[in-house]
Each structure stands twice: as structure tokens, then as C-alpha cells.
């Protein structure tokens, strides 16, 4: 079986062509580069042949490098971009990027109170455009941002939403039932999906990540495999751990998943949304 990695960042040291934006500096880029060639050295041995790229924050709203990587290998890459949701018409930018292989748009809380982080006309336009054109809104959030997201999903029930990294449960504090309950409650919104990803950053943060099994089981029972997709979060996954450490948890480590569940999570959910069924 061939797999799809639904969350990878890429960047280059070609600064003249692809400048980085403040407050980021060249010294922030660790590793110094993570180009497609470096990525494939990890993905190919594990049977991954398609990848969803996530715009790297070093480039702010300039998605050029990601778009060039997508265009350079048609059919292999899809993309999740970042647009300026405080701009007057982020929806127009979304549609321009959708014409170039982008299927989703990353959002995250900034300085607003967490209960109001999705307020504003920009987010309203983004969610409406997502519903109209089947483009995903992809929140990078902690559990405390979930209530506002749920309210927005009530307002825009047809908008696809893909929550990154199991809502980062267990990233900065111990895994707790209340946070799992918050994430699982999002399953009431039929268009919400979850990335089962970034294992290196969650819980005990150590392979084989079996401490994450109860969390993943709860999320699986709430959403079903058809709304879950695996992802590595490379290159961060391979800084101290290996690519195989990540994929092996889903492929080999969770006895509550059937073979069809594994195929769904490791390939089909991301294939259906980001690449179509081809």
C-alpha cells in the first residue's frame, strides 16, 4: 500500500528568490534547508508517494516556494497556504491559490482573546469561501481554542475543517480527559476532520508513542477513520526521531485499527480531499 503524508513543511536557502520575513531570521531555520530531495529521502523508504505541503511561517503570506514545489512535481504534492485574514479580501486570494494546487488554508490564534480569536470579517469570508468551493480551513490550535472553532462550524456547517496535530493535546501539558472531550465533541460537525500527527511533540514525546494510543482511540471512536488522516509534521519529526517512528504507530502500533482503517487513515482520507480519488 502506498501512503500519503498530510502535513510536511519545506524551505530552502535560496533567499534571493524566496526571502524570509520578519521576525524570522536565517538562524531560525533548523535544519537550514528541507527541500523535496531531503523530504523524499525519508518518505520513499516508508512507502509514502504523495505529500500535502504546509506553508512555512518563515515565508509569512508569500506562498511562492510551496507553490513552486507543487508545480515542479505534478500529482505528488498538494498544498495548505497561509493568507492574511486581516486583509480586505482574503477570499479572493484563496481562490487564486486554489487554481495553483492549494486545497486548504492554515489559521491560528494570534493576540485576540482566545474566546474571540475567530471574530472578524476576514475569517467570515474565509469560512464562507471554504464552504462554497470545498476548500479546507486548517486550524493550528490548542484545546482552549476549540469552543470558538465549534461556534464557527455551527455558522458555516458546509466548510471543511481539518484540525492539526490532534489539537496539540499533550504538547505543553499532560494529556487530560477534558481536552480529549473537547476535541471529540467537534465530531458533531460532519465536515470536521483531524490530523493524527506530530507524535514527536505530544505526550511522552518518545517512540514508539504508545502512550498516545488511548487519545487516538478516543478520537477514532468519535470521528471514524474516514475523518482522520495521518501526517508526520516533517522535518520536525526527523530532528530527533525517525520518519518510520511516526508512520509505524498507525501502521503497526494500534491494535484497535482494522486494515481498512489503517488504509483510510494512512492514505484514503487525504487522497479523497487533497488529490481526489485518482
Whole-angstrom CA distances from 239 to 42, 108, 112, 179, 243 are 12, 24, 32, 27, 10
Burial class (CB in 10 A: 0-12, 13-18, 19+), 275: middle
pTM: 0.97
What the chain holds in terms of domains, given with CATH numbers, is: 3-275 (3.20.20.140)
Residue 64: is its pLDDT beyond 60? Answer: yes
Whole-angstrom CA distances from 182 to 98, 151, 160, 210 are 31, 13, 18, 22
Neighbour order of strands in the sheet with 161-163? 3-8, 48-54, 77-81, 102-107, 136-139, 161-163, 192-197, 228-231
Q: Could you report the per-residue pLDDT of 70-125, keeping only the tens digit for each? A: 999 999 999 999 999 999 999 999 999 999 999 999 999 998 899 999 999 999 99
Q: Could you report the per-residue pLDDT of 184-212, keeping only the tens digit for each? A: 999 999 999 999 999 999 999 999 999 99
b/e map of 207-234 (b: 16 or more CB within 10 Å)? bebeebbebbebbbebbebebbbbbbbb
Q: Which three cell numbers stand for residue 215?
A: 487519545
What confidence score (pLDDT) does residue 278 get?
39
> Smallest Cα–Cα separation from 76: which of 136, 10, 4, 134?
4
Whole-angstrom CA distances from 212 to 159, 171, 180, 215, 269 are 29, 11, 11, 5, 21
What confidence score (pLDDT) does residue 276 get?
85
What confidence score (pLDDT) does residue 112 get?
87
Residues with Cβ within 8 Å of residue 40, at least 6 apart in sequence: none
What confidence score (pLDDT) does residue 1 get?
76
Amino acid at each position: 500500500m502506498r501512503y500519503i503524508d498530510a502535513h510536511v513543511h519545506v524551505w530552502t536557502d535560496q533567499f534571493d528568490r524566496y526571502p524570509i520575513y520578519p521576525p524570522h531570521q536565517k538562524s531560525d531555520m533548523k535544519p537550514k534547508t528541507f527541500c523535496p530531495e531531503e523530504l523524499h529521502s525519508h518518505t520513499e523508504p516508508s512507502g509514502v508517494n504523495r505529500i500535502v505541503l504546509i506553508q512555512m511561517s518563515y515565508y509569512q503570506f508569500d506562498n511562492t516556494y510551496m507553490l513552486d514545489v507543487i508545480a515542479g512535481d505534478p500529482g505528488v504534492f498538494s498544498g495548505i497556504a497561509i493568507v492574511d485574514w486581516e486583509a480586505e479580501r482574503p477570499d479572493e486570494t484563496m481562490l487564486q491559490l486554489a487554481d495553483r494546487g492549494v486545497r486548504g488554508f492554515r489559521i491560528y490564534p494570534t493576540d485576540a482573546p482566545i474566546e474571540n480569536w475567530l471574530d472578524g470579517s476576514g475569517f467570515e469570508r474565509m469560512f464562507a469561501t471554504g464552504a462554497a468551493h470545498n476548500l479546507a480551513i486548517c486550524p493550528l490550535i490548542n484545546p482552549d481554542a476549540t469552543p470558538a472553532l465549534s461556534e464557527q462550524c455551527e455558522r458555516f456547517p458546509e466548510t471543511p475543517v481539518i484540525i492539526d496535530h490532534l489539537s496539540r493535546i499533550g504538547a505543553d501539558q499532560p494529556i487530560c480527559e477534558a481536552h480529549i472531550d473537547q476535541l471529540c465533541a467537534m465530531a458533531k460537525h460532519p465536515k470536521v476532520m483531524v490530523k493524527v500527527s506530530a507524535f514527536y511533540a505530544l505526550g511522552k514525546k518518545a517512540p514508539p508513542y504508545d502512550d498516545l494510543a488511548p487519545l487516538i482511540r478516543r478520537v477514532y471512536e468519535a470521528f471514524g477513520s474516514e475523518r482522520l488522516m495521518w501526517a508526520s509534521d516533517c522535518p520536525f519529526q526527523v530532528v530527533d526521531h525517525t520518519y518510520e517512528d511516526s508512520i509505524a504507530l498507525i501502521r503497526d502500533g494500534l491494535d484497535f485499527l482494522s486494515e481498512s482503517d489503517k488504509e483510510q487513515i494512512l492514505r484514503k482520507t487525504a487522497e479523497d480531499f487533497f488529490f481526489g480519488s485518482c
